[in-house]
């Protein structure tokens, strides 16, 4: 039996395996715990197909996660760019009736 098949089954049953662990600081799962767990023994070819499919799906999940991380970084970069432009007065056109920001800043400093 491929060890990966057993690994993924135990991974799938993670919550249950954490619950049956023993110990105060870090619960451990002993061989007797593993032996007592029901285990669906599929034919060897099915085990290999299951492991291959799980591996494929986790690889796709890694790709999606990397894309999300890249998108988050781009959004943060855009936020910084927008803030910088806002502080420089570059987000819109200046209404000719409004005083320049430099004049406003001087008035605020004079207070």
Over residues 52-89, the pLDDT tens digits come to 999 999 999 999 999 999 998 888 888 888 888 888 87
Question: pLDDT averaged over the chain?
Answer: 84
Distance, C-alpha 68 to centroid of its chain: 8
Please state the domain extents for the chain. Answer: 3-86
Over residues 1-17, the pLDDT tens digits come to 578 998 898 888 887 77
Position 102 scores a pLDDT of 82
How far apart, in Å, are the Cα atoms of 109 and each of 17, 89, 94, 98, 101? 65, 18, 22, 18, 12
Give the global pTM.
Answer: 0.54
Position 1 scores a pLDDT of 53
Q: Residue 26: CA atoms inside 13 Å, Cβ hemisphere, count?
A: 0
């Amino acid at each position: 039996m491929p060890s990966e098949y057993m690994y993924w089954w135990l991974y799938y049953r993670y919550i249950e395996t954490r619950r049956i662990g023993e110990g105060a600081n870090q619960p451990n799962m002993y061989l007797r715990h593993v032996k007592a767990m029901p285990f669906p023994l599929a034919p060897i070819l099915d085990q290999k197909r299951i492991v291959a499919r799980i591996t494929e799906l986790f690889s796709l999940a890694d790709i999606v996660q990397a894309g999300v991380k890249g998108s988050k970084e781009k959004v943060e970069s855009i936020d910084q760019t927008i803030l910088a432009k806002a502080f420089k007065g570059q987000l819109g056109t200046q209404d000719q009736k409004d005083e320049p920001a430099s004049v406003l800043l001087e008035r605020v400093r004079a207070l």
